Amino acid sequence: MSWQWIAPLVSVAYLGVLFALAYYGDLRAAQGRSLVNNATVYTLSIAVYCTSWTYYGSVGRAAVSGVGFLPIFLGPLLMAPLWWFVLGKMIAIANASHITSIADFIASRYGKSPVLGGMVTLFVIIGVMPYIALQLKAVAVSMDVLVDHLGAGLALGDPPFLSNNTALYVAILMALFAILFGTRHLDASERHEGMVMAIAFESLVKLGAFLSVGLFVTFGLFDGFGDLFGRAMADPALRRLMTFDAVPGGYASWFSMTFLAMMAILFLPRQFQVLVVENFNKNHIRQASWFFPLYLLAINLFVLPIALAGRLIFANGAMDPDTFVLTLPIQAGQHWLALLVYVGGLSAATGMVIVETIALSTMVSNDLILPLLLRFRTVFRDDLSGMILSIRRGVILGLLLLGYLYFRLIGESQTLVSIGIVSFAAVAQFAPAILLGIYWPGASRRGAMGGILIGFLVWSHTLLLPSFAKSGWLAGSFLTDGPWGQAWLKPEALFGLTLFDPITHSVFWSLLANMGVLVFISLFDRQTTVEQIQAMHFVNVFDKGGKGGNEYVWSGFVSVVDLKRLVARFIGPMQAERDFAHYIHKRRLELEDNAQAPARLVAFAEKRLTGAIGSASARVMISSVVIGEELDLRGVMRLLDETSQVIEYSQRLEQKSRQLEAATRQLQEANERLQELDRMKDEFISTVSHELRTPLAAIRAFSEILRDNAELEASERQKFTEIIIKEAERLTRLVNQTLDLAKIESGKMEWHISEVNLAHIAQEAIDATKQLFDNKSVQLVNKVDDHDLMLQADRDKMIQVVINLLSNAVKFCDATTGLVEIHWQDTEEGVGLAVVDNGPGIPLEDINKVFDKFHQVRDSAADFLPGSGLGLTICHRIIERHRGRIWVESVVGQGSSFIFLLPRGVVEG
Amino acid sequence: MPVEILIVDDAPNIALSLEFLMKKEGFSVRSVGDGEEALKAVAEKVPDLILLDVMMPKRNGYEVCQAIRARAEWQTVRIIMLTAKGREVEQERGLAMGADDYVAKPFSTRDLVQKVRDMLGLPTG
């Protein structure tokens, strides 16, 4: 069989094995007998860090720059001991908040900001795309090398032929795998166990293949390390590789690369995926932190030997050092070994691409597409879970095709290592926001956005655009003269800095600007409440232990069924029903569907949604159904609780005592009001009693006198009888008015509002009181006449008011010289009447009391006059009821004017 | 020398009925409408007995009672308070101020006359 066919067939077969493994892994997970709950599997899955870049590229780099290949492995090696602290904390945070991607992590930390999440996602795509392209390139190149050289015999000097189609097929196959095992459930925090199994397996394959070729080269082609190194040392060019002289950029570059690798092991999307999201048990980190460095050591053991062997064997330098791993076995006629090497490279590439695209698809769908979709409210009427999965699948396919495109346009002109390092420098831009974010509560959203933005701009300018320029996409003058001929903007010598190599230069400027802006803005920024809460959750994630107090407190109103319906839209109705039932059952809650959801349930729903659609979108969704304040006092108190226990305690105490004081004050006030009301009631009853007893006393006394004195003269008898009748009338009036007043004040009085003319009302009142005036010979002058004063009012009540005012006036007027006038009033405020008398007037100290109940200016003039002391009070209440105003103007000795005004508008009945 | 009675009440009809009742007993009767006039009348000529209403304009019944008891030469005056406020506390207050007895309005004319006679040490009429 021709090699032309074997390589692709082996590729497909290998992927078939992966499928089977992943399927089995998922099956076991579904049965609850997880295969990945195992520190070894966890460590092996972390080895997804070693991509085809490691596999082929590190040999290439070692062949050119000797120890220059080491930083990529020294970085993770240095970082591993720190894992327990940094990674452990990140995992705890991610678990507590159901965080499923690095974009979500940053967005969540900084106040669940959708903008920040989208920004990070966009930058990740831009930054990591070259890396994906790199993998496609590696697979395509290795396959072509294999096919060409094995098929046609090894023809030295032939440049490897790049088959466009190979890379495309590889891309599509990988997309298929990622879709099948990466987007089966919606809740991304439910980990992809099958995928992890496959990745761990791949790590074994690539290690095995690499060790095989290393052993073969060292012990097959040479007589062990001594022989190999001895021969290399004899060559001055190769001896130079053992020193830093060969490293471009020297120590500075070496350290900056080490630093980049340290960041990459944590913040590359795929590393975040396997380290944080796929982590089954936090304790697995302990084993991983020594086991993973061992793996790295093993896979790097033969890098230098293979590189040196390649340089020695292909002494004319015609063979691409990136292909040494493959070409050395071919050169030696070990075709099957070459095939194994190819499979190892394939596994390195597929592992990376699969995890990377799954991680990216979660990000793109949760932090880029969904936030935009959710703006169109009509979208989420139906079950959205299917749609979200489709989006993710589309995203995976799109990403791989994009990677393919990038590879076609750029990748052919770049070495593997230089492409990869661009991506490393890109993800390093997230380091300040994340690391400061989990240790410094002061880091603010605007600071993080500013830092990441400026970091990426500098990165683009100093690394990405130059790589475009080097591949001919941009004019070369961009590099040599700077953009627009501005020398100080030269991408690889910004502000005239020429001390470093391009990578170190870019890392230096981008991270300096990134951190500087982040810290500077944060110091002067004012965080929102959500930001503060999130910051506290992240920074103090361990302090609260399992108390579960890590959610944002919702205090608004939402029913259980509405909440469930919302969650169902994103994770499916069955799943939502199960989750809610489980939650409610576990906490022994008794919740009807229509009951108000307790704050914890809302928080639970938000977490559930966060797993499915990301924290920012989840927050938007929850706030769309929760009516009312997002944050209550408890939320703020909890925030304080996290800032400092002591402050919180004293504040709570203070607050409690303040509340207590306030409550006491309120109680006192209420008590005083009650006492006042009680006193007024007593006084009223006492006064009514007095006012009733007085006429009753007179009636009884005279009745008894009439009874006991049969000898009384007829005139005297007549006089006493008149008194009895008058007092009885007075009693009746008093009873009526008391009842009237009680009715008005209790709101039981019926009001018949209609269109009335005050002129007519005045006339009727005058007619009704004519007798009173005549009796006392007081003159009454009607100055209203037929001046029309139309308004809406209760006709009978208004007549009662005018009668009361007239009888009041006549009571205080002197007989014979008394004069009472009734005038019309027409002002902006309304229309009304004025009753003016020339009586004694009212002293200033009494003028405000005339409308009080039973206030009677007791004066000899008032004796024996009809009047209960309630008349003016009733007038006042009636006018008030019409939204009008009544008052008195008076000068002692000259008389009083009682005036009322009523608004012209309609008074509701 | 006839028994001297002073009637103090601001309700004219009640004063009128009291005048009738006292005159019928053969007493000499004066009548005033407020507290100040009452004190003036006492100063003018000390009565044997005062029928004193509580609720009055210008000095009320309690004040009048207190003022009279404050003067040693007026200690012999008998005072019956008339109150339209039937509550016990009002009556207690009247007695505390130095009244000899109290009568609640409305009152029984026979009882009132009897009380006056008893207080003056006259035989039952």
Interchain pair A693, B10: CB under 8 A: no
Domain count, chain A: 3
- B19 occurs within a structural domain: yes
Shortest Cα–Cα distance, B38 to chain A (Å): 15
Instruction: Give the number of A-B residue pairs with CB atoms closer than 8 Å.
Output: 69
Hunting for tokens 């340290």 — which residue is that?
A262
The residue in chain A having the minimum alpha-carbon distance to the alpha carbon of residue B106 is: A697
Residues with Cβ < 8 Å from A715, sequence gap 6 or more? none
Residue contact B21–A700, C-beta within 8 A: no
- Locate A133 and state its tokens: 């392209």
CA-nearest residue to B103 within chain A is: A697
Strand order, beta sheet including A831-837 = A779-782, A819-826, A831-837, A895-902, A885-891
Nearest alpha carbon to residue A451 among A500, A366, A523, A501:
A523
CA distance A808 to chain B (A): 19
Q: Which residues pair with A484 in a beta bridge?
A: none
Which chain B residue has its CA at the smallest distance from A707's CA? B109
| Distance of alpha carbon A524 from alpha carbon A533, whole angstroms | 18
Per-residue confidence band for A103, with pLDDT thresholds at 50, 70 and 90? confident
- Given pLDDT bands bounded at 50, 70 and 90, which one contains residue B48? very high
DSSP-assigned states of every residue in A163-228: -HHHHHHHHHHHHHHHHHHHSSSS-GGG--HHHHHHHHHHHHHHHHHHHHHHHIIIIIISSHHHHH
A858/B13 Cβ within 8 A: no
Task: Look at residue B16 in the predicted model and tell me its pLDDT.
Answer: 93
Mean pLDDT of all residues belonging to chain B: 87
3-class DSSP state of A481: coil
Task: Report if residue A803 sits inside a domain.
Answer: yes
Report the C-alpha gap between A839 and A591 in whole angstroms: 74
Sequence-separated (6 or more) residues with CB below 8 Å from residue A571 = A186, A187, A385, A579, A608, A609, A612
Is the pLDDT at B114 greater than 80? The verdict is yes
Distance from the B83 Cα atom to the nearest Cα atom in chain A, whole angstroms: 8
Q: Which of A23-32, B28-37, B104-113 has the lowest mean pLDDT?
A: A23-32
Report the b/e string of B25-34 with b at 16+ CB within 10 A.
bebebbbbbb
How far apart, in whole angstroms, are the C-alpha atoms of residue A791 and residue A194? 85
Q: Which has more confidence, B34 or A593?
A: B34
User: How far are the Cα atoms of A356, A376, A627 from residue A114, in angstroms, in the given order?
Assistant: 22, 15, 21
Q: How many angstroms separate the CA atoms of A819 and A715, rounded?
A: 33
Q: Residue A865 pLDDT > 60, yes or no?
A: no
* DSSP β-bridge partners for residue A831: A826, A902
Whether residue B30 is contained in a domain is answered as yes
Residues of chain B neighbouring A705 (CB-CB closer than 8 A): 17, 20-21, 109
Q: What is the pLDDT of residue B40?
A: 92
- Give the pLDDT confidence score for residue A189 in this predicted structure: 54
Q: Which residues span the domain enclosing A617? A: 543-643
Cα gap A344→A138, rounded to integer Å: 12
Pairing between strand B49-53 and B28-32?
unpaired
| DSSP β-bridge partners for residue A755 | A792
Enumerate residues 6+ apart whose C-beta is below 8 A from B73: B46
3-state secondary structure B32-51: ECCHHHHHHHHHHCCCCEEE
Which spans in A747-858 are helix H?
A: 758-776, 795-812
The three-state secondary structure class of A594 is: coil
Say if A607 falls within a structural domain: yes
Q: Could you give the CA distance from residue A54 to residue A345 in angstroms, rounded to a whole number?
A: 9
H/E element, A651:
helix A645-708
Let me know if residue A697 belongs to a domain: no
Q: Alpha-carbon distance A189 to A278, whole Å?
A: 8
Closest CB from B10, B106, B108 relative to A693: B106
Query: Are A41 and A200 in contact, with CB atoms under 8 Å apart?
Result: yes
A864: left (phi over 0), alpha (psi -120 to 50) or beta: left
Angstrom distance (rounded) from CA A410 to CA A24: 38
Query: What would the DSSP string read from start to end of B46-69?
Result: --SEEEEESS-SSS-HHHHHHHHH
**HSE-up of residue A647 (Cα within 13 Å, Cβ side):** 9
Q: Is residue A845 part of a domain?
A: yes
Residue A632 confidence (pLDDT): 44
Average pLDDT of chain A is 78
Percent of chain A having pLDDT more than 70?
A: 83
Instruction: Say which CATH number the domain at A831 has.
Output: 3.30.565.10
- What pLDDT shows up at residue A156? 36
Residue A340: CB atoms within 10 A of its CB come to 20
Q: Verify whether the Cβ–Cβ distance B84 to A702 is below 8 Å.
A: no
Give ipTM to 2 decimals.
0.93
Q: Which residues contact A875 (CB under 8 A, 6 or more apart)?
A: A800, A801, A804, A805, A851, A886, A900
In angstroms, what separates the C-alpha of B95 from chain A's closest C-alpha? Answer: 19
Which of A246-250, A571-575, A691-695 is the least confident region? Answer: A246-250
Which residue of A lies nearest to B56 if distances are taken between CA atoms?
A858
Domain limits for position B100: 4-120
- Judge whether residue A300 has pLDDT over 70: yes
- Residue A890's contacts (CB-CB under 8 Å, 6 or more residues apart) are A841, A842, A847, A896, A897
Is residue A453 assigned to a domain? Answer: no
Side chain identity at residue A661, one-letter code: E
B58 to chain A: nearest residue by CA?
Answer: A858
Question: Any long-range contacts for A230-234 (C-beta under 8 Å, 24+ apart)?
Answer: A231/A312, A232/A308, A232/A311, A232/A312
CB contact under 8 A, A693 and B13: no
List the Cα angle A60/A63/A67 in 5-degree steps: 105
Look at residues A789, A793, A772, A788 and name the one whose alpha carbon lies nearest to residue A867. Answer: A772
d(CA A411, CA A131): 10
Residue A759 CA to chain centroid, in angstroms?
A: 67
Cβ atoms within 10 Å of A499's Cβ, excluding its own: 11
Mean pLDDT to the nearest integer, A519-532: 81
Give the closest-approach CA distance of A841 to chain B in angstroms.
17
Cβ neighbours of A864 in B, within 8 Å: 12-13
CATH (domain of A308): 1.20.1730.10
Chain A residues close to B110, C-beta within 8 Å = 704, 708
Between chains, do B33 and A709 touch, taking CB under 8 Å as contact? no
Facing residue for A689 by CB, picked from B20, B85, B107: B85
How far is it, in rounded angstroms, from Cα A139 to Cα A142? 5
Which residue of B12, B33, B109 is in closest CB contact with A701?
Answer: B109
How much is the pTM? 0.55
pLDDT digits (tens, 9 = 90+) for A547-574: 444 445 565 677 777 788 778 777 777 7
Put simply, the answer to whether A696 touches B21 (Cβ < 8 Å) is no
Q: Kindly give, in sequence order, each residue whose CB lies less than 8 Å from that of residue B61, ignoring residues fewer than 6 positions away.
A: B8, B35, B52, B53, B54, B55, B81, B82, B83, B94
Element (H, E) at B104: strand B101-104
Asked if residues A471 and A572 have their Cβ atoms less than 8 Å apart, the reply is no
Work out the number of other CB atoms within 10 angstroms of the CB of residue A153. Answer: 8
- Which residues from chain A sit within 8 angstroms of residue B105, using beta carbons? 693-694, 696-697
Of A359, A343, A51, A353, nearest to A176 by C-alpha is A353
Residue A240 is assigned to a structural domain of this protein:
yes
Q: Is residue A662 part of a domain?
A: no
Q: Please give the pLDDT value at position A722.
A: 92
Q: Which residues of B touch A (CB under 8 A)?
A: 10-14, 16-18, 20-21, 24, 33, 55, 57, 84-87, 104-110
Cis-peptide, bond into residue B106, ω within 30° of zero:
yes
Residue-level pLDDT at A746: 79
Which amino acid, B42? V
AA letter at B28? S
Shortest Cα distance from B81 to chain A (angstroms)? Answer: 14
> Among partner residues A694, A702, A709, which is closest to B11 by beta-carbon distance?
A694
- Distance in angstroms (rounded) separating the CA atoms of residues A888 and A876: 11
Nearest Cα of chain B lies from the Cα of A675 at a distance, in angstroms, of 19
pLDDT tens digits for range A165-174: 677 777 888 8
Q: How many angstroms separate the CA atoms of A552 and A529, rounded?
A: 10
Of A193, A183, A186, nearest in space to A33 by CA: A193
- The closest of A22, A496, A500, A459 to A251, measured between CA atoms, is A500
pLDDT on residue A863: 40
Contact A25, A35 (CB under 8 A): yes
- Local confidence band at A158 (pLDDT 50, 70, 90 cut-offs): very low
| Chain B residue with Cα closest to A702 | B17
A26 compared with A446, residue with greater pLDDT: A446
* Test the A interface: residue of B9, B10, B17 with most A CBs within 10 Å: B17
> A738: closest CA among A561, A594, A870?
A870
- The residue in chain A having the minimum alpha-carbon distance to the alpha carbon of residue B53 is A694
Q: Which of A697, A704, A709 sits opposite B14 (nearest CB)?
A: A697
Which residues on chain B are in Cβ contact (under 8 Å) with A699? 106
Question: How far away is chain B from the Cα of A705, in angstroms, using its nearest Cα?
Answer: 8
pLDDT higher than threshold 80 for residue A5: no
Does A446 score more than 70 pLDDT?
A: yes
> Which of A700, A707, A859 is the best substitution to test chain B (most B C-beta atoms within 10 A)?
A700
Which three-class secondary structure state does DSSP give residue B86?
coil
The residue type found at A79 is: M
pLDDT over threshold 90, residue A890 = no
pLDDT score for A507: 84
Distance CA A377, CA A387 (A): 15
Least CB-CB distance to B109: which of A694, A708, A859?
A708
Determine which of A688, A694, A865 to mutate to test the interface with B (most B C-beta atoms within 10 Å).
A694
- CB contact under 8 Å between A698 and B110, yes or no, is no
Mutate to test the interface with B, among A858, A859, A864, A868 (most CBs of B within 10 A): A858
3-state secondary structure of A1: coil
Which pLDDT does position A719 carry in this prediction? 92
Q: Which residues of B touch A689 (CB under 8 A)?
A: 84-86
Could you tell me if residue A521 is inside a domain? Answer: no
pLDDT at A496 over 70: no
Q: What angle do CA A298, A299, A304 make, to 5 degrees?
A: 100
Give dist(CA A840, CA A859) in Å, integer. Answer: 10
Please judge whether B21 and A690 are an interchain contact, meaning their C-beta atoms are less than 8 angstroms apart: no
Last residue of a domain, one of A609, A643, A677: A643
* Higher per-residue confidence, A317 vs A793: A793
Token duo for residue A565: 């319906």
- CATH for B66: 3.40.50.2300
Task: Count how many domains chain B has.
Answer: 1
CB-side neighbour CA atoms (13 Å) of A593: 5
Q: Which of A627, A643, A659 is the last residue of a domain?
A: A643
pLDDT in tens, A619-668: 767 776 676 544 444 444 444 444 445 555 666 777 888 888 888 888 88
Cβ separation of B21 and A858 shorter than 8 Å? no
pLDDT given at position A630: 46
**Residue A813 per-residue DSSP state:** S
Among B24, B87, B105, beta carbon nearest to A694: B105
Which pair of tokens denotes residue A389? 């999965």
Are the C-beta atoms of residues A259 and A426 closer than 8 Å to each other? no
Residue of A nearest to B112 (CA): A701
Contacts of B14 in chain A (CB under 8 A): 694, 697-698, 701
Say whether both A629 and A766 belong to one domain. no
* Residues from chain B contacting residue A709 (CB–CB below 8 Å): 24
Which residue(s) pair with A825 in the sheet? A832
Q: Residues in chain A whose beta carbon is closer than 8 A to a beta carbon of chain B? A: 686, 689-690, 693-702, 704-705, 708-709, 723, 726-727, 858-860, 863-864
Within 8 A of A711 by CB-CB distance, chain B residues are none
pLDDT in tens, A327-338: 888 888 787 888
> Is residue A657 packed enough to be buried (19+ CB in 10 Å), middle (13-18) or exposed (0-12)?
exposed
What was the pLDDT predicted at A523? Answer: 87
pLDDT value of residue A416: 54
Q: Alpha helix (H) ranges present in A709-757?
A: 714-746
Cβ distance A701 to B106 less than 8 Å, yes or no, reads yes
